[in-house]
Amino acid sequence: MERAPADPVYSTRPLTGDTWNDFAKLVEENNGVWGGCWCMGFHPEGVGKGHTVAQNRDAKHAHVRRGTVHQILIYDGVTCVGWCQYGPPAELPGIKNPAAYNKELSELPDWRIGCIFTGKGHRRNGVARAAVAAVLAAVGESGGGLVEAYPEQAEGRELQRGSYFHTGPETLFEDFGFVRDRRIAKWRWVMRLRV
Ligand SMILES: CC(C)(COP(=O)(O)OP(=O)(O)OC[C@H]1O[C@@H](n2cnc3c(N)ncnc32)[C@H](O)[C@@H]1OP(=O)(O)O)[C@@H](O)C(=O)NCCC(=O)NCCS
C-alpha cells in the first residue's frame, strides 16, 4: 500500500559497523555536515582548528568500531535520512557554552542528547521527531535516567534556517516533556527529562 507523503513511517537502527555505510552516505550527500564535522563536535576529540575532514571521518569511524557511540539512524525505506546522537557525558563532553553550563551545574545528567541532523530534502517531515522518540525509547531500555538536551529557542526571534538547530529546536523537546532547567546562551537552554 502506498504511504501518504504527509504521514511518513520511519524505521530506526543504531549506528554500528553494520550501518556505517548508510550513515557515511548521508554525511557525504550533505557535504560532510557543517563542511566536514562528521558529527564529531560532542565527542572528546572535538572539531575545528587542527582537525581535517578526513580526520573527523576517521575519528567517527573509530568510535563506531570501538562502540563508543550511541546514535539512532532514521530510515525512509532503505535510505538513511537523519540521526540523533546521545550518550553519557563522558562520551559527549563537547557541549557548547561549557563555562555557562558549569557555572550553575548541580547534577550531571545520565544521558545527553548531542547533535540532531535531518538530510536536506527530508526536513519538516517528522524525521527529527522520530529520532528523539527512538532515543528516549533506547534510554528507557537501558534503564532510564536523567536526560539533558541543549536546544535552541525558536520562539521570539526571526525565523531561523534549520542549520542553526544542530542541537534541535526547543519546541521539539517540549513536545516530549522536557522542561527548561537553565539558559546557557542567548537562545540556548539546558532542558531536562527524567525517563
Ligand atoms: C533542526 C532539524 C534537525 C529538524 O529536523 P526535521 O526532521 O526537519 O524536524 P521535524 O520535521 O521532526 O520537526 C519536529 C519539530 O521541530 C520543530 N522544528 C523543526 N525544524 C524547525 C525550524 N527550522 N525552525 C523552527 N522549528 C523547527 C517544529 O516544532 C517541528 O514540529 P512541527 O513540524 O510539527 O511544527 C533539521 O532542520 C536539521 O537537520 N538541521 C541541521 C542541523 C545540523 O546541522 N545538525 C548537525 C549535526 S552534527
pLDDT at residue 175, as a whole number: 97
Q: What is the pTM of this model?
A: 0.94
| Total domains in the fold of the chain | 1
* Residue 128 falls inside a structural domain: yes
> What is the extent of the structural domain holding 111?
11-194
What is the distance, to the nearest Å, from the Cα of residue 74 to the centroid of all Cα atoms in its chain? Answer: 12
Q: How far apart are CA 64 and CA 28, in angstroms?
A: 17
What phi and psi, each to the nearest 5 degrees, are found at residue 119?
-60, 150
pLDDT tens, position by position, 91-119? 999 999 999 999 999 999 999 999 999 99
Q: In ligand 1, which atom is closest to the CA atom of 39?
A: 48
The angle at the Cα of 163, spanning 24 to 26, to the nearest 5 degrees, equals 15
* Residue 3 falls inside a structural domain: no
* Residue 70 falls inside a structural domain: yes
* Residue 81 falls inside a structural domain: yes
The rounded percent of the chain whose pLDDT value lies above 70 is 94
Taking a C-beta distance cutoff of 8 angstroms, is the pair 140, 195 a contact? yes
Q: Determine which residue's CA is closest to atom 43 belonging to ligand 1.
A: 166
Determine the 3-state secondary structure of 128 from DSSP.
helix
What is the distance, to the nearest Å, from the Cα of residue 81 to the centroid of all Cα atoms in its chain? Answer: 13
Q: How far apart are CA 170 and CA 189, in angstroms?
A: 8
Q: Determine which residue's CA is closest to atom 31 belonging to ligand 1.
A: 172
- Reply yes or no on whether the pLDDT at 4 is more than 50: no
* Residue 34 falls inside a structural domain: yes
Q: Residue 129 maps to which CATH number?
A: 3.40.630.30
Q: In ligand 1, which atom is closest to the CA atom of 162?
A: 37
* Residue 123 falls inside a structural domain: yes
* Residue 163 falls inside a structural domain: yes
Q: How far apart are CA 189 and CA 171, in angstroms?
A: 12
Most distant pair of Cα atoms in the chain: their distance: 54
H-run or E-run covering 194: strand 188-194
What phi and psi, each to the nearest 5 degrees, are found at residue 80?
-75, 120
Ligand 1 pocket list (CB less than 6 A): 33-34, 37, 39, 82, 115-118, 123-129, 154, 160, 162-163, 165-166, 168-169, 171-172
**Which triple of cell numbers denotes residue 91?**
562520551
**Ligand 1 mean position, distance from CA 165 (Å):** 7
Confidence of residue 7 (pLDDT cuts 50, 70, 90): low
- Reply yes or no on whether the pLDDT at 2 is more than 80: no
Q: In ligand 1, which atom is closest to the CA atom of 117?
A: 39
**Ligand 1 mean position, distance from CA 55 (Å):** 28
* Residue 1 falls inside a structural domain: no
Of 7, 28, 153, 165, the residue with max ligand 1 atoms within 8 A of its CB, to mutate for a pocket test, comes to 165
Of 124, 163, 173, the residue with max ligand 1 atoms within 8 A of its CB, to mutate for a pocket test, comes to 124
pLDDT tens, position by position, 137-190? 999 999 999 999 999 998 888 777 766 788 999 999 999 999 999 999 999 999
Confidence of residue 37 (pLDDT cuts 50, 70, 90): very high
Q: Determine which residue's CA is closest to atom 5 belonging to ligand 1.
A: 128
- Reply yes or no on whether the pLDDT at 70 is more than 50: yes
Average model confidence (pLDDT) for the chain? Answer: 93
